[in-house]
Amino acid sequence: MSQLPQNLPLSRDQVLDEVDFLLTVEHALIVEYLSVRCALGYDLDTAHGGPVTEASREAAAEANSQADLLMLKVGRVARALYGMRTVTALGRAGEIADATGAVISLEPPTREQLEHLLEREEAIAAAVDARYARLVPAMNADGPGGAAFPATLRDEVEGGTHHLDGLSGLRDLLAGQPITDLLRATRRAGDTDAEKALLRSSDSTYAQLLEALGGFYRDPFGDNGGESRLVALAAMHSFDDINRSLVRAGLLPPFQMPLA
């Protein structure tokens, strides 16, 4: 998605379009943090493919915590949008432009990108913060424009300007360390039939999770939304178990988006 026009007032629809886009960015960031957690060894014992140092074990846990926080944020934003715009599915952004217009890929990170993960995460976080910051004046403007947005949505947009701050834990744990030596799972292609089957299971569970979340976001306060939430929680638990098995084999979850 291209940058919003600079130094021009934003319409209500432009703001909501950007919030929609940022929801897909948050999804990509969740995948990013889960990939980092997997790459560092998940929560496994070192002998079974888990983290090789205490710092990398704490970093894997921190990446998971950040993913959890972003999952909660996506849910809050979707609920805040309810009645203003329908969130029909949880899409995922493939890229984002930073303040200079340079494009940063948001596809699941490659091994090379993981080897430079702090630089990558900082660049992404700065770009996301800038996109949220662009919305804050429009949402808080006096008059009909600003009043068109509920306080809950304004709060979430303002809170969205702190992704870079959220990296402090990973930065403290990993700064100055040779990341290459800490990576435990880096493959996304299976070598055996068993590995390929496990990768397919990961993707099918991911698709089930996204479908359930879409049902919840369409009607977060209704009975159908409540049932979808229960299905999503069950899929999350299965996804967690499958991905732990992938990491034990040195594999990263593919995070293939389902075909539309």
- For the chain, what is the domain count? 1
Report the distance separating Cα 48 and Cα 213, nearest Å.
32
- 154 lies in a domain? yes
- What CA–CA distance (Å, rounded) separates 192 from 189? 9
Note whether residue 88 is domain-resident: yes
**Domain-located, residue 213:** no
Looking at the domain assignment, is residue 191 inside a domain?
no
- Residue 45 resides in a domain: yes
Q: The domain containing residue 166 runs over which residues?
A: 12-186
Q: What is the pLDDT of residue 122?
A: 96
- Cβ atoms < 10 Å from Cβ of 28: 23
What is the C-alpha separation between 138 and 145, in angstroms, rounded?
7
- Is a pLDDT exceeding 70 seen at residue 72? yes
**Predicted pLDDT at 237:** 95
Q: What mean pLDDT is predicted for residues 124-132? A: 96
> Across the strands, what pairs with 187?
251
Q: Is residue 226 part of a domain?
A: no
Q: Would you say residue 118 lies in a domain?
A: yes
214-241 per-position pLDDT tens digit:
888 887 777 777 888 899 999 999 999 9
Report pLDDT digits (tens) over 164-190.
Answer: 999 999 999 999 889 999 999 999 999
**What sign has the CA pseudo-torsion 192, 195, 197, 200?**
negative
5, part of any domain: no
Q: Which residue has the higher pLDDT, 32 or 78?
A: 32
CATH number at residue 23: 1.20.1260
Residues in the chain: 260
